[in-house]
Amino acid sequence: MTRTKGILFFLFLLFFLSGCSSPGKKKYVVGISQCMLDDAWRQAMIREMKIEATYYDDLDLIIKDANSNNDTQIEQIRELIRQKVDLIIISPFQSEPITAVAEEAYRSGIPTIITDRKVNTDQYTSFVGADNYDIGYAAGKYAERYLSSQKVSILEVWGMISSSPAQERHQGFMDALKQAKKEVVSQKVEGDWLYRVARKNLKEVQQVEQFDLVFSHNDMMAIAAREVFDSLDTRASKIPILGVDAVPGAGLEAVADGRINASFMYPTAGDVVLRTAMKILHGEKVPKEIKLYSSVVGIDFAKAMIQQSNQLLSYQTRIEQQKKTLDRLLHRFNFLQNSLFIILVLMVLLILLSVNVFYINWKIRRKNKELREKNRKEEEQRRKLVSLNAEIERVTAQQLQFFTNVSHELRTPLTLIIGPLDHLISAMSESSHLPDLLLMQKNANRLLLEINQLLDFRKIDTGQMNLRVHEVNIVAFCQEVKSYFESMARVRRIEYVFENRMALDTFWIDTDLIEKVLVNLLSNAFKYTAEGGWIRLRLEETTDQIQILVEDDGTGIPPEALPYLFDYFFTEKNRAGSGIGLHLVKEFVELHHGTVSVESELGKGTTFTVSLQKGHAHFPDEVLSKQMETSLSYVPSQLDDSTEKALLGQQYDETILLVEDDDEVRTYLQKELQENFHVLTALNGKEALELLDEKEVSLILSDVMMPQMNGFELCRQIKTNVSFSHLPVILLTALSDERQQHFGLSGGAEEYIQKPFYPALLKLKIIRLLEERKRLRAHLLQELHQGNLLLTVPEKAGGPENLFLHKFIRQIEEIYTDPDYNIEKLSDTLGLSRGHLYRKIKELTGTTPVDFLRNYRLGKAAQLIRQHTYSISEIAYMTGFSSPAYFSKCFKIVYGITPTEFQ
């Protein structure tokens, strides 16, 4: 902005300067006060001044015409003084009246030149003029040639009597005649320097013929005399007349044409006056009196002068024209000069601007370079940071993975501790070692809790913790969780209460996570509450939230620890624990879009408040489960004791194939399972498949991580082989990674059980699976008996096993009328070995393929008997029995009555 302003100012200055043609050169103003301008003499003087002025380009003239009036002249001189002209030239009208104003001009500091007529003072700078006495004297001398006699009669035509030239010319003239010893008789005629006045007064003169000569103070009055004399028609026209001035355009012509006998040059000298003025203005010294010289002008001289004057006039005209041309050229030169000046200035400006632009450009380039360098350094630094970060992340991930793996590994031995411990505790309820065993159990469970928390932390950290939200009876749920600590409260005589201040009873939560939250908060409360203290689990509600409060009157938490309480790995001084528990509490609650807060006072107690939103609009659809959650998974003791005992007290006929590479776990599990089932063992998947080829197995229980063939691969092989695909598979592993669970389940495993597991829970799951199978088989047999199997097993009834069964039954349907058809043929058609077909059909239907075919024939026969269309013998052959007797025998075995009785 400042730069633009500067440029504009510069341009303005440029145009201003270019407007002045000669900057710095002073112009002089010269004021000229002329007493009159209506006669040739004065006009000649002014013309000469003007011509002279053209030689100076620093000069201006102001010309004033006083019109033969003293007062006017005085006023005009004063005006020039007021204008502060540089110099005043005064040509006075009358000497006396003008003297004062001439002095005034001089005293005001303006150089003053007096010309022609005089003033009665010496207060002027210079006087320029001829000596009028000398002129009169020369005229007197010249007159002698016309005055032969001693006694002469002269007619003198005076200029203004009071003017100095008139008096001086008269005096000079008389003195010359006197010197010539003439006896002069003269008559005076007043002409006032003017043709008009002289002519009038001359007409009044009597006896003009008596005069020998006329001396006129100027040519104009001389001409008037000639004209008056000529008009008289006497010898008067012969009287010689002398005049003064001899200026072209007046007296000079009169001399040349003989009207005047001679004239005496009275120089106008305008050029001399102006040159003197310029000298003064330029500081040069000039004489006080500059005398102009006169000479007599006779007829010949006059003619020559006229010629010369004309010549001069023509020169002057040409000079003036040339001057005009010169002015024009000068004007153009000035214009070009100014233009050149502007161009030069613009060029300088352009150069300056270019330099400026280059400079700015250079600065920008330098700045850009610096910026690029800075950016490059920052980018390098960022890249280093990123790679450092990646390295840190990689190392951290490795450490955490190691940590997770170790935790998983710890679960297996824990299984082997907690399982047998449970057994021992129930077997040694009367023993004196029971307190020790209980202590061991408590600590093993604590260890398990810590490990589980670590794994949960890892899941949260890797974003694998997925919610499964159910609608639960929140009051029952809280009471249930509260009950885990009942016995502890009893032992430590802690007043342990549950308060429900809510009207609401069902609520949407992930029971597993909120159970962990409450267990954590309650176990914390128990940890820091002394014997005889109190702990309260309280439920409250607001319009859109419920609050679960865990309060205690324990030791309290120091205020400085409160802000960090939910940070992971934060452990407060003097407090045990890994520092994960409360962090998980916060994470789990936040997964529910809830909040957890704490209030505590040292020595008074602590209150944790979990606030959860009502309804389920804040959960995405995919985490919502429509099933109402009824049981908790924390400990097996929540199951109905009596049912559990009844189920686990039985011996089952089914064979379980246990696949486990760890000797100790395998032995322990084998021992556990053998209490209820037949057990076959294999060390890996490969061995298991070999066993399946030979043995009759109802369920496979397999570890996942095994050499040679792992559990996932085993499961995949079983489920894709039609010989075994009907067998249920339970995968058992220490890996709790959800993705692995999904992988196991999508590979076809019926169950996926995490170590450590409660053997009872595992066995109950096995029993439930086997019972399910049994129910299916019973249903199938019932359908078979009723002979409507084909109708009830539609092709699209999902599951590969149903499809297989359907295919099998269709085959039976096609061949059952053929008494020669045997099972070998059937196994060929279905693409299974006889043994596999046998075991598969046995497993799926509970009967052997041969029995199944026979029962199918009997079912069909029963249907036909009901129709009363055919005889029993016909029906026997129609349904593929080799003889009616064999048919009757088989029928009686299955239906308990003979076909005839049935009919």
Number of residue whose CB is nearest ligand FRU = 218
Query: What is residue 33's three-state secondary structure?
Result: strand
**Residue 377 CB contacts under 8 Å (≥ 6 apart), including other chains:** none
Which of residues 160 and 256 has its CB atom nearest to ligand FRU in the complex?
A: 160
For ligand FRU, the closer of residues 135 and 735 by Cβ is: 135
Q: Which is nearer to ligand FRU, 116 or 510 (CB)?
A: 116
Provide the angle, in degrees to the nearest 10, between the axes of the packed helices 434-461 and 581-591.
50
- Pick from 549, 474, 458, 566: nearest CA to 511: 474
Part of the chain binding ligand FRU (CB under 6 A), chosen from 37-45, 310-318, 584-592, 894-902:
37-45
| β-sheet with 126-130: strand ranges across | 59-65, 28-34, 87-91, 112-115, 126-130, 289-292
Nearest approach, Cβ of 339 to ligand FRU (angstroms)? 49
Asked if residue 218 binds ligand FRU (CB under 6 A), the reply is: yes
CB within 8 A of 482, min separation 6: which ones? 496, 498, 518, 522, 537
CB nearer to ligand FRU: give 174 or 418: 174
Q: Which of 244, 656, 680, 727 is close enough to bind ligand FRU by CB under 6 A?
A: 244
CB 762 within 8 A of CB 679: no
Q: Does 41 bind ligand FRU (CB under 6 A)?
A: yes
Nearer to ligand FRU, 128 or 784 (CB): 128
Of 65 and 116, CB closest to ligand FRU: 116
Contact 254, 221 (CB under 8 A): no
Instruction: Give the integer Cα–Cα distance in Å for 61 and 44.
Output: 16
Provide CB contacts within 8 A for 823, sequence distance 6+.
834, 837, 838, 849, 850, 853
- Report the nearest approach of ligand FRU to the CB of residue 97 (Å): 15
Report the nearest approach of ligand FRU to the CB of residue 255 (Å): 14
Of 159 and 248, which CB lies nearer to ligand FRU in the complex structure? 159
Nearer to ligand FRU, 91 or 879 (CB): 91
Task: Give the nearest distance from C-beta 127 to ligand FRU in angstroms.
Answer: 13
Distance in Å, CB of 283 to ligand FRU, minimum? 30
| Stretch near ligand FRU under the rule CB under 6 A, chosen from 39-47, 317-325, 674-682, 714-722 | 39-47
Q: Site size for ligand FRU, by CB under 6 A? A: 12
Among 116, 587, 654, 660, binds ligand FRU (CB under 6 A): 116
Task: Select 245 or 515, whichever has its Cβ closest to ligand FRU.
Answer: 245
Q: List the one residue from 93, 127, 266, 508 that touches ligand FRU (CB under 6 A).
A: 266
| Dihedral angle of Cα 275, 281, 283, 285, to the nearest 10 degrees | 40
Residues of this chain, 806-825, that bind ligand FRU according to CB under 6 A: none
Sign, CA torsion 435/440/443/445: negative
Q: Cβ 131 to ligand FRU, closest distance in Å?
A: 12
- For 817, residues 6+ apart whose C-beta sits below 8 A from its C-beta are 878, 879, 880
Q: Of these, 31, 111, 136, 165, which contacts ligand FRU (CB under 6 A)?
A: 165
Nearer to ligand FRU, 41 or 588 (CB): 41
What residues numbered 842-901 form the site for ligand FRU, per CB under 6 A? none
Q: Which of residues 187-206 bind ligand FRU (CB under 6 A)?
A: 193
Based on its alpha-carbon atoms, the radius of gyration of the chain, rounded to whole angstroms, reads 75
Q: Classify 508 as helix, strand or coil.
A: strand
Q: How far apart are the first and last CA of the chain?
A: 120
What's the closest the beta carbon of residue 213 comes to ligand FRU, in angstroms?
19
Residue in 117, 259, 408, 842 binding ligand FRU, rule: CB under 6 A: 117
Confirm or reject binding of residue 159 to ligand FRU (CB under 6 A): yes
State the greatest distance between any 2 C-alpha atoms of the chain, in Å, as a whole number: 222
Report whether 274 contacts 53 (CB < 8 A).
yes
| 515 binds ligand FRU per the rule CB under 6 A | no
What whole-number distance in Å separates Cα of residue 148 and Cα of residue 240?
13
3-state secondary structure of 289: strand
Nearer to ligand FRU, 102 or 844 (CB): 102
Residues that bind ligand FRU (CB under 6 A): 39, 41-42, 116-117, 159, 165, 193, 218, 244-245, 266
